Structure 1
Amino acid sequence: MERLLKSVRIHRGPVTTAMPVPHSSLIVTAGYDGAVGLFSPNAIELLGYHDHLVNRVVTDPTGTWAGSCSSDYTIKIWNIPERRLVQTLRGHSDDVEDFVFIDSEWAVSASRDRRLLMWNWPSGRIERILLGHQRDVLAVAADNQHIYSTGDDRTLRVWDRNTGTLLTQWGPFEAETDTCALDVPRNRIVLGCDDGYIRIFSLNTGASLASWSAHQSGIKRVAVNSDGRLLSAGYDQRVIVWNMDSHAPQVVLDPHSACWERSLNWTSDGSGVVAGTFDGTVIQWDAQSGAQMAELGAQPAGPDHICWNEAAAAEDGTIALVSDDGRVRAGHIDTDPASWLTMEPPSGRVLMNAVAYDPHHARILAGAHNHVLHQLGVSLTGLRFEASYSLGLGPINTIRFTPHGEEAWIGTYSGTLVRWSPDTHAVIGAYALHDGAIKALRLLADRHEGVSCSAAGEVLAWDWSGRRARHFGGHTAIVNDLDVSSDGRWLVTVGRDFILRLYEYQTSRLMTAVDLGRRSPKSVLLINEHEALVGDYWGYLLHVNLDSGQIASRRIATNGLSSLSHVQTRVLATSYDGSLVVTDTAVLSVRSLAPSGQRFAEWATEEVS
């Protein structure tokens, strides 16, 4: 009996890691749907689920064990030959971003709780806690004697495996450092940085050996294969194989518009490269030629799931939405989503993070992962493509029109704010105000000011000429979202320090700070100076009393609430699980506009002779 891949249900959302299993043709995968799976040329199997999205999955050198780390704060250990879960490691208090097996007993994990934990993984026992990082720890590597870690505090650190002592620290660098890899043949370590630079250091002497500009945007993955070749992937949409002696590019892999840069890995023999996509599939390349060889799990019509990233709404109930599938949608909150208008940009589908709707001119701006801004017109008969423009400043994360639609402001991954003219399809100005990726922005039209927050923990107000006006202090981690009251008096922010803060806008005075618990907040909506709604990464909608600090919560989705919008007297919540939920401001009445389509109880294959 042969199992046909075309009949298989794949990941319902982005694949965050594709990791070849040593000594086999299998690829173990992890996804936003919380699933851990096994891809092979002829089948896809489900190992099991986490309670939240999975950030990374790795294998041990024998190919027997896989370790998956998740935003549910756990690591799960899987027996690959037996296809079963054998251990769950608990001890972190925030998202676990990376994990590595050291040997048959020891492993180490890295987390946004700023800690590295060393595990006796068969027993589930924490053996040692490594403290020192000042911000989120995003990547970890290890050999028999040392542990290497890097993250948002812009440092690369070396620890003694046996004592947990910090031995060496490089940095802080000028940019965040998301990824590192050991170059075992040359006894070096490679660091990928958010300024697009690759930096290499000697493990013997600690000396800086090389540094070069490898990408035009942040590097999200570096990996070294067994023969010492280096792979790097950046937000400039390029995946490059480098000669580690000359530091010259050997080959640039064929581009794939849905490739997730963080997901790439070498095949066990070093002859190929694999990656996950935002479409739930796995790509395979030949590392010598750079040619794409296959896409496992691809559907002829594209993905049949939607992970909503943002919605924009108008007072008449019109909404515009963008998602991981790279399509723009528009409709009315009281109509069936099946009747909504849908358009794929002429340049093709690329994940979109940001959207804004201008009801005065019936037009939409949508921002894509590949740095491109798309402008569309809206009519009763359909969406009309008007223009595309590559800003070249990293993924576009947030967009807002001025009140009458004459201009728009755009926040980018590079920390640059862009002022845009929809009428002339041209950039009016660009202002590098933030040290980290801009996560959200709002405009105060009567003041000709805006306010934005960033991954560096900054909240800044600025005038429309791009000059900084004031700073709102207090956050100690990424600030994910903000909102301003309609009269411009109050500003509310939420961050990965689990705190909601309310400020008096004009004075920057902090009025209240509310501890939201241990689930990271993603989105916020200010109802008035006494109430706010917060959506978290676990699908909970929190009603926060800003006077008393009292919180009432209700789970309305199975994955993160990516945005909250006022729609007439109601609130629209979008989720990464594909659901759209309409509620009142007290979260007493909840109506599902589109159900979750992300998780399946099982993946099925059809067997034919």
Structure 2
Amino acid sequence: MKHIGPISGIAAHAAEFVATAGYDNQVILWNARTGLPIHRVHHDHLANQCAFSADGKHLVSASSDYTARIWEVPSMRLKAVLSGHDDDVEMAVFSPDGTLVATCSRDHVLRIFDLQGELKGSFHGHQADVISVVWSPDGKRLISSSDDGTVRQWDTASFAQCDEVDIGGVETDTIAITRNGVVFAGDDEGRISIIGQGQVRSVAAHAAGIKRIVWNDDKQLLVTLSYDRSAILWRLDAQHTLSKLRSTALPSIIWPRSCAFVGEEELVFATFGSRYATWNYERDQWSIDGIQPAVSINAVVSAQGQQYSIGDAGLLFRDNKPVTGVGSLCNFLQPFGPLLLTGGQMGQVFDAFTGQLLYQHRSPLNCGTTFEKDGVLHALIGTYTGEGLVFILDGRDGLKLVASIAMHDNAIKGVAANDRYLFSVCASADAALHRIDDFSCARHIDNAHSRISNGCCQIAGGFASIGRDLKLRLWLESGDEVYDSPHQHSIKCIGASADGAIIATAAYNGTVALFDLGTRSWQPLQRPTASGISCITHSGQQHDFLASSYDGNIYGIAARRAS
């Protein structure tokens, strides 16, 4: 038993069990002492997070199949399915007495269920995706954080909101609480907000967004994980002041989305591989032996008459055969003159053909495109911290950074270009047009999508974008257009055919839908895989596409030809 896709969530109970939740839909229970797997179960879609009850007798997992599920430990027999959310369930946690489960979702709602799966009540008020939830130590309140930049508290008896703290409007992914009721919140600007005794104090902690905060009450220790590729261990004193004890650079296999304390002096971490990693923070010693890279493919491109792909393992494949490696997860492939640019979690830009490191950024890299300015070919790379990095070729095999454009205040999810504009979409659901001639902002579109914008592409007369709202939006010189898609789950990626006549969209549940720009109509939905589609691009043939998947395969997608 092992994971074949990235591990998104991890939990531990004492020194006995570790549980992992993965993008391969699997939840695996492990023996914490031996590191061996015990049982595995499955969701119908990505498994995002998991948590044990205080007594270790139950595990709850949260999934993008819109459910949370309760499992008996160690048998992993399904006890209950918690349903009713209308979007991905990001987190689920047991009440302190283990009799209830709280869930939070990208549908902006929190819910409480009993262990039989009966809904006890819902909490409404957040204005954006709810990413994190914890119980107060007495079980009388829930505390939640959201992409709306607030931390809210809720009364679990009346299901009413009883407090709200604005974290400066900054997206806040993660919270933790002490037994004395002090709340820690980590935000996308790398700050820890300490909420307690009627005041909020802020600590500048990381150079990029904090993705997970975990508190250990017995040890009075806090750990923060960030996209700056570091973990920091903190101690809290009686005055609620944090002091840094130790920091560590995360190995490239670590995904800084989740960790958990286990045993006396260790933390276990989510990874981009087959199993979890361990850090002994007393000895500052990592254990990553035996972790096999995940098979997930994140990008595919047709270049120089051949098919190239890359993914979590950082291995470049040419026509499905490995040729080079860069040693860390990569999110995109972008042909650029003689180079094939790639990069990802480490913030490093590589030439995928040779594995040569070309540039180091302060945060992960997500996407790329090329454009011409003053007759010179340029490359644009979108970052998790909202900058668009602009490069030109430096000699035959080098890069030179010529501009850093402040495009967004959140992770850039997609970039595209035509002869006049750079178009970008962002995790905050915004979009932007920047002029190529001076890189100034020509148009910023707040809430271009009603949920997270996931990707974009160039089309004739403008650009197209998709997102979690299941809409296809066209941004044309003649005006903006919007079309409902046939997808039922979040749309992950978008591409246009070589002649620009067909738009391809693909979703996290493996469905592909093609849109004919000539007739403004959708072709029948296809589903080449039950796993998510990570990237879709034209194959070099006029109306055909290549779709890469988290299952490690590449699928050919044929458009229906006009009769």
Instruction: Give the TM-score, by structure 1 length.
Output: 0.85
- Change beyond 3 A, Cα 1:385–1:288: closer
Q: Secondary structure at the match of 1:82?
A: coil
Moved more, 92-101 or 247-256: 247-256
Structure-2 residue corresponding to 1:3: none
Distance 2:284 2:307 in 1: 41
- Change beyond 3 A, Cα 1:405–1:278: farther
Structure-2 residue corresponding to 1:250: 245
- How big is the shift at 1:42? 5.2
Distance 2:283 2:193 in 1: 25
Structure-2 residue corresponding to 1:217: 208
Residue 492 (1) aligns with residue 464 (2): yes
Distance 1:83 1:518 in 2: 29
- How big is the shift at 1:479? 0.7
Residue 133 (1) aligns with residue 119 (2): no
Distance 2:6 2:500 in 1: 37
Structure-1 residue corresponding to 2:491: 521
Distance 2:455 2:376 in 1: 22
Match of 1:573 among 547, 551, 563: 547
Match of 1:263 among 255, 258, 267: 258
Q: How does 1:205-244 map to 2 (within 5 A)?
A: 205-208=197-200, 210-226=201-217, 227-244=219-236
- Change beyond 3 A, Cα 1:260–1:42: closer
**Structure 1 residue ranges without an equivalent (≥5):** 1-8, 377-382, 589-609
Structure-2 residue corresponding to 1:154: 149
Q: How does 1:372-451 map to 2 (within 5 A)?
A: 372-376=348-352, 383-392=353-362, 394-402=363-371, 406-423=377-394, 424-444=398-418, 446-447=419-420, 449-451=421-423
Residue 194 (1) aligns with residue 188 (2): yes
Percentage of identical aligned residues: 27
- How big is the shift at 1:52? 1.1
Would the aligned equivalents of 1:259 and 1:277 in 2 still touch at CA under 8 Å? yes
> Aligned-pair RMSD on alpha carbons?
2.2
- Change beyond 3 A, Cα 1:568–1:182: same
Residue 21 (1) aligns with residue 8 (2): no
Greater strand percent: which structure? 2
Residue 274 (1) aligns with residue 268 (2): yes
- Change beyond 3 A, Cα 1:288–1:516: same
Structure-1 residue corresponding to 2:332: 354
Match of 1:36 among 2, 24, 27: 27
- Change beyond 3 A, Cα 1:515–1:163: farther
Structure-2 residue corresponding to 1:309: 298
Deviations 1:262-296 (A, max 9, x none): 121112x553211121012211222333322x347
- How big is the shift at 1:513? 2.3
Distance 2:382 2:35 in 1: 43
Structure-2 residue corresponding to 1:479: 453
- Change beyond 3 A, Cα 1:172–1:545: farther
- How big is the shift at 1:425? 2.1
Deviations 1:548-588 (A, max 9, x none): 65452111122211111112222110111111011222399
Would the aligned equivalents of 1:308 and 1:322 in 2 still touch at CA under 8 Å? yes
- How big is the shift at 1:483? 1.4
| Higher RCO (C-alpha 8 Å, min separation 6) | 1
Distance 1:206 1:138 in 2: 24
- How big is the shift at 1:253? 3.7
Residue 327 (1) aligns with residue 315 (2): yes
- How big is the shift at 1:79? 0.5
Q: Secondary structure at the match of 1:306?
A: coil
Distance 2:560 2:76 in 1: 45
Moved more, 76-85 or 139-148: 76-85
- How big is the shift at 1:457? 1.1
Distance 1:261 1:583 in 2: 33
Would the aligned equivalents of 1:38 and 1:46 in 2 still touch at CA under 8 Å? yes
Instruction: Give the TM-score, by structure 2 length.
Output: 0.91
Residue 342 (1) aligns with residue 323 (2): yes
Q: Secondary structure at the match of 1:555?
A: coil
Structure-1 residue corresponding to 2:530: 558
Distance 1:317 1:565 in 2: 14
Residue 49 (1) aligns with residue 10 (2): no
Distance 1:189 1:125 in 2: 29
- Change beyond 3 A, Cα 1:426–1:550: closer
Would the aligned equivalents of 2:325 and 2:355 in 1 still touch at CA under 8 Å? no
Structure-2 residue corresponding to 1:98: 91
4+ residue runs over 4 A deviation: 527-531, 545-551
Deviations 1:352-403 (A, max 9, x none): 1122013xx4311111211111124xxxxxx4344431121x2100111236
Count of residues paired in the alignment: 542
- Change beyond 3 A, Cα 1:357–1:225: same
Would the aligned equivalents of 2:503 and 2:516 in 1 still touch at CA under 8 Å? yes
Structure-2 residue corresponding to 1:370: 346
Would the aligned equivalents of 1:11 and 1:33 in 2 still touch at CA under 8 Å? yes
Would the aligned equivalents of 1:439 and 1:453 in 2 still touch at CA under 8 Å? yes
Q: Secondary structure at the match of 2:377?
A: coil
**Structure 2 residue ranges without an equivalent (≥5):** none
Structure-1 residue corresponding to 2:512: 541
- How big is the shift at 1:138? 0.4
- Change beyond 3 A, Cα 1:248–1:472: closer
Distance 1:580 1:415 in 2: 29
Distance 2:376 2:334 in 1: 10
